[in-house]
Amino acid sequence: MARKKKEGSGLNIPDAPFRPGEEAIFETWSWKPGDLERPDPTKCTAEDTVPHAQGLVRVLGDNDKASGAWNPKLNADELREGLEHMVRLRIFDDRMMKMQRTGKLSFYMRSFGEECVAIAQTMALETQDWIFPSYRQPGAQFVRGRDMVSMICHCLGNVEDNIKGRQMPVHYSYRDGRFISISSPVGTQFSQAVGVAMASQYKKLDEVTITWIGDGASAEGDYHYALNFASIFKAPVILNVVNNQWAISTHANFATASGEFATRGLPYGLASIRVDGNDFLALYAVTKWARERAASGSGATHIEVLTYRAGAHSSSDDPSRYRSSDEHTKWPGGDPIERLRDHLIEIGEWSAKRQSGLEDRIDSEVMSAYKEAVKYGDLANGPYPEADTIFTEVYEEMPWHLKEQFDEVMEG
Amino acid sequence: MANMNMIQSLNNALDIMLERDDDVIVYGEDVGYFGGVFRTTDGLQAKHGAHRVFDSPLSEGGILATAFGMGINGLRPVVEIQFADYIFPAYDQIVNELAKIRHRSGGEYWSPVTVRTPAGGGIRGGHHHSQSPESQFTHTPGLKVVYCSTPYNAKGLLISAVECNDPVIFFEPKRCYRGPFYGDPHNVLTWEGHPEAEVPESHYTVPLGEARLVMEGGECTVIAWGAMVHVSEQAIRDSGVSCDLIDLQTLVPWDRDTVVNSIEKTGRCVIVHEAPKTSGFGAEMAASVQERCFYHLESPIQRVTGWDAPFPHTTEWDYMPGPTRIAAAIRKTQEG
């Protein structure tokens, strides 16, 4: 039978809620701080977390006050430390993006709007815990004390890049901070992290592994391998799906038809929680809970970190081509930095003046780190790592066939 | 010394490594309680405990991903992919992750995983229990690729692979598990009485990167690996031509000196493998031989391989290189 010439077909193709030129209108969250109980992480079952997977853990209310069973009751110094790391990451990202535009680095990815994710979560961990990030969690390195000059040298791909110009910018590796090398293929780290955790378990060490995957990458097989292995082997791992709504231009509606991510952990038998990813306190508390659960031998926690990718996917992306321009300003979770700042002000531990002072101080810190790093070279002007770095560390020792090619280059 | 078939010698290698190194951990599909569909891990769980030797979910991607992570965190996993044909769900984890981690992290991280996998045809396994996908791994920098052929080298190579700090893809010719295979499917042999089945019971290694000279002769060099080593041995006898037979054993890095010295002596070369011809590792060998030995060559290099078609079920003996085809290729190198 001839195909009918008419619009569309029988295929059901989802769409994003708002496209360029349309006004973004998000549903207001009905979940408030205090709505959800905090079960005992060492004893509760996956079933006990059904309300948490279907609901949304929040601590910071619309009134900038912290409340509810999940309030981690951090002191003002801890809150200020979190704020400082987030501000540092945002200013750092902005500087790097500017430098990318001038050709000093090939590529960049900001964490804009998601600064809270890696920072609050890493602060909730112990220093012996393993961090297995995707490219949107570089902020964990600030918490683990990485020198900013070293981070910039990596992004510039210069002679001081600790990974020797071998990967694109933002693909950090930081062994001293137990921050495991970032890989470009999305999602691979998620299932690998379960293996890292299984090794800790095998060695009976008090180590937990945390990892993140995007909403988009949760459609990869690795996501399901991770949940399944974590559940079967009760691995001490914290599995986060950062649902930031967008995977480059692919809306989360193309990653799941259900509109839900947290609940997908339940049929695997994993404790599952959805948390407001722009709420520093909620994210900290949920991660602390998951760590306690993992360390007690009760297994993994599957967390949906509900947030919004306020910036472009990367320096190569232009979101105005596929989404409404006002989405991130309309996001019900607001901005993570502003929310923690306003909370600190609300409790009398911060002020607008101190905020601007902090921003100025970090701006200078970033500028001076950048100036220091660029002395070792940048992508536009070099110097670059020596060509021998192409051949080293492919194997523990260079085999003869690689040595021949190495000699060819070096004798060039 | 004991007479062992290849299953027993591989089992013995794993047993020794589990005994010697607490960081060695063995898992895969059906590997634990049951001891593997080919029985290679038989008894290891009972002896070393379920925390050392265990069953995994049916998830090749998950097996490799978790092995990668364990390797990062100080363990030395030896995982089994039940048939090499089923390795592809794990291909991304092997090619993009395992092979690159040391390099991509500037040497901060590495993962010394050994992937054991039965490969090759001759067991009526059809499309998906017969393939020999070595060239899909030899093309990936960062991996070492091994193909054993006898009980003796299987054990020594596997111990080397486990002790190696680089990831190793370890192919086992399943047709040779219980006996050598000389190309006659009706002649089912055992390893009993075979000199290469005399295996020391203690720890020893066959170094990675070293080939084995199986037969010595002056008129042609035959290069093979896996089951094709034995088929080539038969073909050489049938051909009446005096040949060096080189069992490559390690494909990456392959043994340059043994190959080059032999061809400089014989001036003629036949390369034999089960995998399809196009882009097979034989193409790499032929290219390398002409680069290094062109002025010693007396005749064109011959390749005898599987056909560029999916591996068949009932017609597998028309697909796999047999002594007749290999002998014809050897004779062809003697023309002109």
Nearest residue to A235 via CA among A243, A244, A226: A226
- Does residue B150 form part of some domain? yes
Is there a single domain that holds both residue B42 and residue B152? yes
Q: Do residue A166 and residue B104 have CB atoms under 8 angstroms apart?
A: yes
Nearest residue to A193 via CA among A230, A241, A232: A230
Is there a single domain that holds both residue B193 and residue B240? no
Is there a single domain that holds both residue B219 and residue B190? no
> Facing residues of A273 across strands?
A303
| CB contact at 8 A, B125 and B96 | no
How far apart CA A336 and CA A232 sit, in angstroms, is 35
Question: Which residues of chain B are at the A interface, by a Cβ-Cβ cutoff of 8 Å?
Answer: 25, 51, 57, 59, 61-62, 65-75, 77, 89, 92-93, 96-97, 100-110, 141-142, 144, 164-166, 209, 252-254, 256
Q: Which of B136, B171, B199 is the last residue of a domain?
A: B199
Is there a single domain that holds both residue B163 and residue B218? no
Instruction: Compute the count of residue pairs across chains A and B with CB atoms less than 8 Å apart.
Output: 145
Is there a single domain that holds both residue B91 and residue B234? no
How far apart CA A304 and CA A283 sit, in angstroms, is 10
* Domain around B175: 2-199
Q: Residue A412 has what pLDDT?
A: 77
How far apart CA B94 and CA B99 sit, in angstroms, is 6
- Does residue B204 form part of some domain? no
Sequence-distant (6+) residues with CB within 8 A of B287 are none
Q: Do residue A192 and residue B97 have CB atoms under 8 angstroms apart?
A: yes
Mean pLDDT of all residues belonging to chain A: 96
How far apart CA A273 and CA B188 sit, in angstroms, is 59
Is there a single domain that holds both residue B256 and residue B176? no
Cis peptide before A14 (omega within 30 of 0): no
DSSP state of B217: -
Is there a single domain that holds both residue B151 and residue B47? yes
- Does residue B103 form part of some domain? yes
* The CA-based dihedral angle spanning residues A303, A304, A306, A311, taken in that order and rounded to the nearest 10 degrees: 100
Q: Domains of chain A, with CATH numbers?
A: 47-381 (3.40.50.970), 387-412 (no CATH)
Total tally of structural domains belonging to chain B: 2
A181 touches chain B (CB under 8 A): yes
Substitution target from A395, A397, A401, A405 for chain B, most B beta carbons within 10 A: A395
| CB contact at 8 A, A11 and A317 | no
Is there a single domain that holds both residue B95 and residue B225? no
Q: What CATH number corresponds to the domain at position B21?
A: 3.40.50.970
Nearest residue to A215 via CA among A271, A134, A285: A134
Q: Do residue B66 and residue A399 have CB atoms under 8 angstroms apart?
A: no
Q: Do residue B165 and residue A396 have CB atoms under 8 angstroms apart?
A: yes
Q: Do residue B141 and residue A193 have CB atoms under 8 angstroms apart?
A: no
Q: Is the pLDDT of residue A2 over 80?
A: no
Give this complex's ipTM. 0.96
Amino acid identity for residue B69 in this structure: G
Q: Do residue B65 and residue A188 have CB atoms under 8 angstroms apart?
A: yes
Is there a single domain that holds both residue B170 and residue B296? no
- Does residue B164 form part of some domain? yes
A139-193: per-residue pLDDT in tens? 999 999 999 999 999 999 999 999 999 999 999 999 999 999 999 999 999 999 9
- Does residue B145 form part of some domain? yes
Q: Which of B170, B199, B228 is the last residue of a domain?
A: B199
A400 touches chain B (CB under 8 A): yes
The 8 Å CB, 24+ separation contacts for B286-293 are B288/B254, B288/B256, B288/B259, B289/B259, B289/B260, B289/B263, B292/B256, B292/B260, B292/B263, B293/B260, B293/B263, B293/B264, B293/B269
Structure tokens at B208: 């990675």
Supply the angle between the helices A148-156 and A76-101 in degrees, to the nearest 10.
20
Q: Residue A9 has what pLDDT?
A: 83
Q: What CATH number corresponds to the domain at position B299?
A: 3.40.50.920
Cis peptide before B253 (omega within 30 of 0): yes
A237-254: per-residue pLDDT in tens? 999 999 999 999 999 999
- C-alpha distance from A293 to closest chain B C-alpha (Å): 21
Q: How many other CB atoms are there within 10 angstroms of residue A99's CB atom?
A: 22
- C-alpha distance from B4 to closest chain A C-alpha (Å): 32
Structure tokens at B73: 């965190």
Tokens 């670059």 -> residue? A384
Is there a single domain that holds both residue B251 and residue B171? no
Which chain A residues have a beta carbon less than 8 Å from that of B75? 199, 202
How far apart CA B331 and CA B5 sit, in angstroms, is 33
List, for chain B, all residue ranges whose pLDDT scores fall below the cut of 70. 336
How far apart CA B61 and CA B127 sit, in angstroms, is 21
- Does residue B169 form part of some domain? yes
- Does residue B207 form part of some domain? no
pLDDT > 70: percent of chain A: 98
The sign of the CA dihedral A341, A342, A344, A345 is positive
Q: Which of B171, B199, B227 is the last residue of a domain?
A: B199
Is there a single domain that holds both residue B267 and residue B183? no
- Does residue B205 form part of some domain? no
User: Residue A1: which pLDDT band, with cuts at 50, 70 and 90?
Assistant: very low
Q: Do residue A395 and residue B57 have CB atoms under 8 angstroms apart?
A: no
pTM of structure: 0.97
- C-alpha distance from A396 to closest chain B C-alpha (Å): 6
Is there a single domain that holds both residue B92 and residue B222? no
Sequence-distant (6+) residues with CB within 8 A of A366 are A88, A91, A92, A95, A148
